[in-house]
Amino acid sequence: MNPWFELKNNKVNLLPIVENIIGLDPMMRFAAIIDLKGNISEAIMKEGKTSLKSQKEEEHFCKQVAMRRKIRQQFDKSLGPVNYVHIERLKITQIVVYPKRKTVYVTMEPNMDIKRKLKIVELIKKKTAKL
């Protein structure tokens, strides 16, 4: 059994998963698990960090993440499924991972070493593969 998965009323309790993701590195900022419609199932901001977006902007962004996932899936047959999405911005790094039935969206400080970012992506993929 994956230690990140905790059942609550026969459903996976997502809070420990986002807490574990946030705990992967001190430079992590935000972690969210989003359903296929773009609704936030669970999210957590790292203690001591403030959001760069309002709650309304965060919700809108998550809806957009779900729409972009559907668009990318149109190319799965010819190009293969998306491994992950990595966006570098001036103020933040955004990473999106696509387990089967959920989407994992995380942000981290942009000055984190790329090798560390890739290690975090692999850990998230491994730990959320059954979502």
User: 38 lies in which domain range?
Assistant: 28-128
Q: What is the mean pLDDT of each run of 10 residues along the chain (131 residues)?
A: 55 91 96 95 88 80 93 96 95 95 95 95 94 92
Predicted local distance difference test score (pLDDT) of residue 12: 79
11 in any annotated domain:
no
Answer for the pair 44, 19: CB distance below 8 angstroms, yes or no. Answer: yes
Predicted local distance difference test score (pLDDT) of residue 35: 95
Q: Which two tokens stand for residue 42?
A: 């669970």
Eight-state DSSP code of residue 46 = P
Predicted local distance difference test score (pLDDT) of residue 10: 60
82 in any annotated domain:
yes
4 in any annotated domain:
no
CATH of the domain at 59: 3.30.450.30
47 in any annotated domain:
yes
pTM of the model: 0.88
118 in any annotated domain:
yes
List CB contacts of 111: < 8 A, sequence separation 6 or more.
27
Give the total number of structural domains in the chain: 1
Answer for the pair 103, 96: CB distance below 8 angstroms, yes or no. Answer: yes
Q: How far apart are CA 121 and CA 128, in angstroms?
A: 11
| Residue carrying structure tokens 């990595």 | 86
Predicted local distance difference test score (pLDDT) of residue 1: 45
